[in-house]
Amino acid sequence: MIRRALATAIVAFTALTAPAQATVHHGTGADPAGDSTASNVDIVEAGAQTDDAAGTVAVALRFAATPASNAYYAAVVGTNGSSGCGAPYVVIAGTPGSHLANFQRDGGNVTPASIAVDGTTVVLGASDPAQLLVPFDCLYGAVKTSSAQAAPIADDTATIALAADAPPVATPTATPVPTAAPPAPTPVPGPTTATAPPVAVPKTAKLTVSLDGAPSTIKRNHTFTIKLKLANDGLKKSSKVTVSFAKARGLSGVSKAKKLPALKPAQKRTLKLRVKLTKSARVSTTLKVNVRSGKLKTSSSLLLRIGKAKKIAAGGPKPGPETKKSPIVGTFWWRNVNHVDYAWDNRALYFVDGGAVYSGFPAGGLPATCGTPPAKPADEIDERDGCLPYTFDASSGTVTIGDKTGTFKDGKLTIDGNEYFPLIPAVPGTRFTINDHQHTGFSGMCGLITGCVITEKYLSLLPDGQFVLSKSTTASVGDPGTGPYTVAGSFPPDQHGTYEVQAGGKIALTYADGSVKVETFAVDTKNGVPDPNGEGVFIGEDNFYPDPTP
């Protein structure tokens, strides 16, 4: 039975706004003692009470000792379904030492919540009739030792069912303490998705800028429109924004700097620039924009060519004759782009020959020739899934891809101000000793509050030619520091099999169920040197890397 302090803490919050005809759900459940690293983050009991008429939710987590003030406490109060405690749901999380907490509905906005400590109990509360008029009927609680992103879950509960109270017959003189034993826990959600523990991301603004929209044909003294796209991909409102333009001979319409209001988190803004290349302009002119907001600054550039732009023929860009192979040909590069409301996306460039570069991650291996028109021509230069023309001046190191410029010097590639990192195709027949490299992504506002959906994949490549590619934590035996330890046969036939590294940046995965998949495969690098165990490998566009929190 739940302790009196736990029940009293919940009632103290929910009684503030409960109307006489409220529909109340409540429930409690025990959690094994001693299953955490320390008693002050060891959950021993949890309970919740919701009121779908008043829009209030309260959760109490009782610990084996006085709760750590700097730990991060979270609860998901949701709705039981076939996959466990899920949507509609609300997530409440905070740190008692800071007295700061927030709650967020699935797909809703982040809103202030309350957090308090009563003896050995942490109480989380949320009240909002606009968002919480929902008959929630399940609870999941968790705690981390700190709000740091790398901090693991110190302890969590099984799913606890919340039962509806019988309709009240009279105004009670006292709030009863629940005495019934909790129902049997319902299954937790499947391993492919989970409710993340609180993740703390520094609340800073992050400016991004891009220029786009150059017409296919540019004539002198003809005005045309360029789109300037600004965004704040950070978690904090920026200061006022200043947009300025580098001087370029014969380019008119963008000589004056522009003052813009601050950008809220995740806010985007598009400016239309009316520009013209006059009689004095060169055949090729670079339009460069510089953006500042307080101490933040970023830039982008766009190449404007007078005349008709090159088009990609059905057979793709045709390389010009080469007397000597260019050092950029055959190189494979990647970068990642972080976002506020989901993890990131990986982007890539593969320089196929002397005149064509593949934008994005090619399917089924690196192409020998480039004959694929872009599937997404409106996307950024490195995510168009197709072939683009490029030029490279070995003497200056200047690289031009479409309408973007950059440099390739000393083994480093930068395009439009973005740095790329080299990927190295593995030698055919190579075997690896890779144990439980992971690829983790999320969707939702994990940087502000828990409740985002986590997707996890795990990869093991063993020296005997076996592999495991699963969406659950891999089972293992032995010491991971002394060699292979993953037991491949313990996985379903559609998650393990044998692998073969092939020429052309390929890996053939022959699954135990008889299916075969051929994927693009490359090794990530450190200081330009292949490092499959320290940095990881790519299969398709997914990078698999060692656990960052050993």
The domain spanning residue 55 has which CATH number?
2.60.40
Q: Based on the fold, state whether residues 378 and 515 are members of the same structural domain.
A: no
The sign of the torsion formed by the CA atoms of 473, 475, 481, 484 equals negative
The amino acid at residue 435 is N
Q: Which residues contact 83 (CB under 8 A, 6 or more apart)?
A: 189, 190, 193
The reported pTM is 0.52
* Residue 322, domain member (yes or no): no
* Cross-strand pairs, 105: 90
Domain that holds residue 340: 332-422
Q: Based on the fold, state whether residues 259 and 404 are members of the same structural domain.
A: no
Nearest to 348 by CA among 524, 507, 206: 524
Total tally of structural domains belonging to the chain:
4
- pLDDT tens by residue, the chain, 550 residues: 333 344 444 444 444 344 444 578 888 989 988 888 888 999 999 999 998 888 889 999 999 999 988 888 988 898 887 667 878 888 888 888 777 788 888 767 778 888 888 888 999 999 888 888 889 999 988 888 876 555 678 888 888 999 887 655 544 444 444 444 444 443 433 333 333 343 344 457 777 788 877 887 899 999 999 888 888 876 678 899 999 998 888 899 888 888 999 988 778 888 888 999 998 988 888 888 888 888 888 888 777 888 876 554 444 445 444 445 789 999 999 998 765 545 568 999 999 999 999 999 999 999 999 888 999 888 889 999 999 999 999 999 999 998 899 999 999 999 998 999 999 999 999 999 998 898 876 555 444 334 455 677 889 999 889 999 987 544 333 333 334 445 566 678 999 999 999 999 999 999 999 999 999 999 999 988 999 999 999 999 999 998 765 5
* Residue 268, domain member (yes or no): yes
Per-residue pLDDT at 338: 65
Q: Based on the fold, state whether residues 145 and 263 are members of the same structural domain.
A: no
Q: Based on the fold, state whether residues 14 and 106 are members of the same structural domain.
A: yes
Q: Based on the fold, state whether residues 293 and 243 are members of the same structural domain.
A: yes
Q: Which residues contact 470 (CB under 8 A, 6 or more apart)?
A: 457, 458, 491, 495, 496
CA 521 to CA 501: how far, in whole Å? 8
CA 290 to CA 547: how far, in whole Å? 38
Q: Are strands 412-415 and 43-51 parallel, antiparallel or unpaired?
A: unpaired
* Residue 150, domain member (yes or no): yes
Instruction: Name the phi and psi angles at 155, rounded to 5.
Output: -165, 150
* Residue 313, domain member (yes or no): no
Q: Based on the fold, state whether residues 100 and 22 are members of the same structural domain.
A: yes
Neighbours of 200 (CB within 10 A): 17
* Residue 123, domain member (yes or no): yes
Q: Based on the fold, state whether residues 58 and 157 are members of the same structural domain.
A: yes
Q: Based on the fold, state whether residues 77 and 128 are members of the same structural domain.
A: yes
Q: First and final CA of the chain: distance in angstroms?
A: 37
Which tokens hold the place of 323? 């007397």
Which tens digits make up the pLDDT trace of 438-488?
Answer: 887 655 544 433 445 567 788 999 988 999 998 754 433 333 333 444 556
